[in-house]
Structure 1
Amino acid sequence: MNKKKVMIVFGTRPEASKMCTVVKAFKNHTEWFETQLVVTGQHKEQLYQVLDSFGVIPDLDLEIMKENQSLAYVTSTILQKMDSVLKTFNPDILIVHGDTQTTFGATLAGYFNKIAVCHVEAGLRTHNNYSPWPEEINRKFVDDVADLLFAPTKVNLHNLLNEGIKREHIYITGQTAVDASLEMKVQNYTYSIDELNNLNFEKYKIITMTAHRRENYEHFEGMFKAIRKIVDENKDVLVVYPVHLSPIVRKWASEILSNHDRIMLLAPLDLPDMINLISNSYMVMSDSGGLQEECTVFNKPMVLMRDTTEQPEAIEAGAVCLAGVDEASIYENTQRILHDVDVYNRMSNVKNPFGDGKASERIAHYVAQYFGLTDHIIEAFDSL
């Protein structure tokens, strides 16, 4: 049997957190694949934190990151460097994830070199080209170009079908983030920093919080004021906020959320710390896409501080509340979850709509089937 040359490409911490289990699945099937992992370095320290957590070592790092990098710089540099890498390695298939500039640039390079592209996390849509920006357009482009589209859920499948993508190119896999979360969760976990080890999860309702999206920059003042008001009015609430490295995010966090004995501002956490913090928390507040998936793994209600979401499944299931970015709405929705036991119980007892922990293995098998390397049929994820 002739092995197929697979190149997996990603460049940011969120991609790594969802793709390391995919890398491991492909490298576990050496009878089928010769697998190479290329990282672009769109993120640097944060990217390697995740890689180290999974014990994944890249074969090549393009090291593109520089200070104050623009979208145009990131995209054009990835395109140029990936073009050279693809010509050298000449893979049979290129695997990308999601909606980043790494994904966009690598896909365009693959298309230019007539290499089959496989898109993990295909079909996510807000149907608003500027929310999230530029990710919505990135993911649309990649789905139009891709030869194999791995849609996490039936919602994503229908998005693709509505855009004219042929059904035979689409596979429902579940979310690889579920695989990663289950791998990272540890009973009686010891955190890497003392502040987390000293948290009293029984005395306080611990809220894990994140906020970082660029389209929310103009809303951070109101968002953070709502959070401070919630903590001030609820003596049993403690917020843990690993603050994004963005200077804009750090500025607002420092001005509004610092100097409070029940608001803990931390540096970005390693993925194992973050996953185990979420699993032990009372609830989650975030503008993140990925945390919508991770909170459902551990049945933690979430207040989503965004106007739109490309992942409506958790909202429809009742596990996530789409609160928008308005100060009053964030405050009111969070207060409701904190004080209404029935609401909290409903939100924390929802079947996970995103996956069953087998997405990465499905992806490897579907690629093997695509190349005729196996006759084994693996069942699709049965999403809600």
Structure 2
Amino acid sequence: MHKIVFILGTRPEAIKCAPVINRMKEDKRFHAIVVSTGQHREMLDTTLAEFGIKPDIDLNVMQPQQTLSQVTHKIIAALTARLDDLAADAVVVHGDTASTLAGALAAFQHRIPVIHLEAGLRSGNISSPFPEEANRRLVSQITDLHLAPTTRSSANLIREGVCESRVKITGNTVVDALRWAAANAPTFDDNALVDLISDHRRIIVASAHRRESWGAPMREIAAALVEIARNDGVHIVVPLHKNLAVRDVMVPVLSGIPNITLVNPLPYRSFCRLMLRADIIISDSSGAEEEGPSLGKPTLVLRDITERPEAIEAGTAKLVGRNAARIVREAATLLRDPEEYRRMARPVDSYGDGNATGRVIDAINEFFGLEEMGTNDIRLANNTTPRQIDYSAVTIVPSSSSALVRYQPR
């Protein structure tokens, strides 16, 4: 039995790691240990509880007004005191947060193999998103097994010189989590939302929290929502991030607008129910950027560049930046043009087919050499090696038994 330590600290990490943790806990080949850094204290605990997960270790490192450097340092210091005792065979980190970077560094310095879930995403701009893009790139330098969600993310890693045998394409576990949550979504228990099911207006779910949105861009987003809300046939629901950089801008501007509803962050399953009810999603959240298109909800992405271009290319999401006039214009198009709305309102599997968890488990199993890969492995058509492939022509094609990387020469 191999001991696998999951180090996570934010709500997105909890959502995307939860399917793997729960599957691994049922697998006698592995012993899964969950270490929480507490980076997103309340939202993290609530999300893990929804998936029936209780951390084995809680580092509880967060304090008000800490800098990124302080958070990273405290996580590494706390992990240093724990990792030797845990005797881990591998450490799994996810994505691009301070917990991810600190967890990977601590594991590397203890000579523990690093497994990076959702590896290989690249925006191409080291400062956007900040600090996530840098965190991803740094972690990739010390990762032993890269679990890439898409062929594009795999190609990014190989282009950067990562050994092809260390990269496995799995799909994104967010789709696995989303399907579970959507199937188990509760009725709305927030008094502000109970009438949504019978509300005949177009429902827009809007959110913003990214560091690059703070300040003037956040004010532009708020102004755009006020303008969109002038349409009496629209009801905008805004789940407000806990960060004061968000609330200090959004609350004064949006409070008291008749068809704008401000709510606290929702539990994950409730938020999935809200997305299912939505007609349009407007957000700078990476989760919404993946979840909206997966649910067939036209998604306006409040960013200038993205490390998740697959839905943009599929035409079900659109980069609109953080300029008020542009946001209003793009939202108005979706509200007034039925053909444009139908074009974007198509569920797509750009980020996965809901079977990523099995592929992740198989890839980790293969990494340890426990047995041959099962039916969820990633195979290359015609025995073509990755370096011979034009990755702009590669797609994941789901099938009942596996996901083939299919290459069609141009």
Partner of 1:380: 378
Contact map agreement 1:206 1:238 (CA 8 A) in 2:
yes
1:104-155 Cα distance to aligned partner (Å, 9 max, x none): 0010011111110000000111111111101100000111110000100011
- Other structure's SS at 1:17 match: helix
Q: Alignment RMSD, CA only?
A: 1.4
1:101 corresponds to which letter in structure 2? A
Contact map agreement 2:186 2:269 (CA 8 A) in 1:
no
Contact map agreement 1:323 1:330 (CA 8 A) in 2:
yes
User: 1:194-209 maps to which residues of 2 (within 5 A)?
Assistant: 194-200=191-197, 202-209=199-206
Q: State the alpha-carbon separation in 2 of the partners of residues 345 and 209 from structure 1.
A: 20
Q: State the alpha-carbon separation in 1 of the partners of residues 265 and 356 from structure 2.
A: 27
- Other structure's SS at 1:197 match: coil
Q: 1:19 aligns with which of 13, 17, 20?
A: 17
Runs (4+) of structure 1 exceeding 3 A deviation are 186-189
User: 1:40-55 maps to which residues of 2 (within 5 A)?
Assistant: 40-55=37-52
Partner of 1:163: 160
Q: State yes or no: 1:281 paired with 2:281.
A: no
Q: State the alpha-carbon separation in 1 of the partners of residues 11 and 339 from structure 2.
A: 36
User: 1:9-158 maps to which residues of 2 (within 5 A)?
Assistant: 9-29=7-27, 31-158=28-155
Q: State the alpha-carbon separation in 1 of the partners of residues 81 and 354 from structure 2.
A: 35
- Other structure's SS at 2:3 match: strand
Q: State the alpha-carbon separation in 2 of the partners of residues 241 and 209 from structure 1.
A: 5
Contact map agreement 2:96 2:132 (CA 8 A) in 1:
yes
Partner of 1:5: 3
Contact map agreement 1:354 1:383 (CA 8 A) in 2:
no
Q: State the alpha-carbon separation in 2 of the partners of residues 128 and 293 from structure 1.
A: 20
Contact map agreement 2:185 2:269 (CA 8 A) in 1:
no
Moved more, 284-293 or 347-356: 347-356
| TM-score (normalizing by structure 2) | 0.90
Q: State the alpha-carbon separation in 2 of the partners of residues 9 and 248 from structure 1.
A: 27
Deviation at 1:246, TM superposition (A): 0.8
Select the structure with the greater relative contact order (CA < 8 A; seq sep ≥ 6).
1
Partner of 2:226: 228
Question: How many residues matched?
Answer: 380
1:263-308 Cα distance to aligned partner (Å, 9 max, x none): 0000111001101110111010000111111112210000101111
Q: 1:267 aligns with which of 234, 249, 264?
A: 264
Contact map agreement 2:362 2:377 (CA 8 A) in 1:
no
Residue ranges of structure 1 left out of the alignment (5+ in a row): none
Residue ranges of structure 2 left out of the alignment (5+ in a row): 380-394, 398-410
Q: State the alpha-carbon separation in 2 of the partners of residues 191 and 51 from structure 1.
A: 19
User: 1:342-353 maps to which residues of 2 (within 5 A)?
Assistant: 342-353=339-350
| TM-score (normalizing by structure 1) | 0.96
Q: State the alpha-carbon separation in 1 of the partners of residues 293 and 92 from structure 2.
A: 26
Contact map agreement 2:185 2:270 (CA 8 A) in 1:
no
Partner of 1:329: 326
Contact map agreement 1:206 1:282 (CA 8 A) in 2:
yes
Q: State yes or no: 1:214 paired with 2:211.
A: yes
Deviation at 1:171, TM superposition (A): 0.6
User: Percent sequence identity over matched residues?
Assistant: 36
Q: State the alpha-carbon separation in 1 of the partners of residues 80 and 134 from structure 2.
A: 21
Q: State the alpha-carbon separation in 2 of the partners of residues 33 and 135 from structure 1.
A: 30
Deviation at 1:376, TM superposition (A): 3.7
Q: State the alpha-carbon separation in 2 of the partners of residues 300 and 56 from structure 1.
A: 29
Q: State the alpha-carbon separation in 2 of the partners of residues 301 and 94 from structure 1.
A: 36
Q: 2:336 aligns with which of 335, 339, 342?
A: 339
Q: 1:247 aligns with which of 240, 244, 248?
A: 244
- Other structure's SS at 2:192 match: helix
1:225 corresponds to which letter in structure 2? A
Contact map agreement 2:95 2:117 (CA 8 A) in 1:
yes
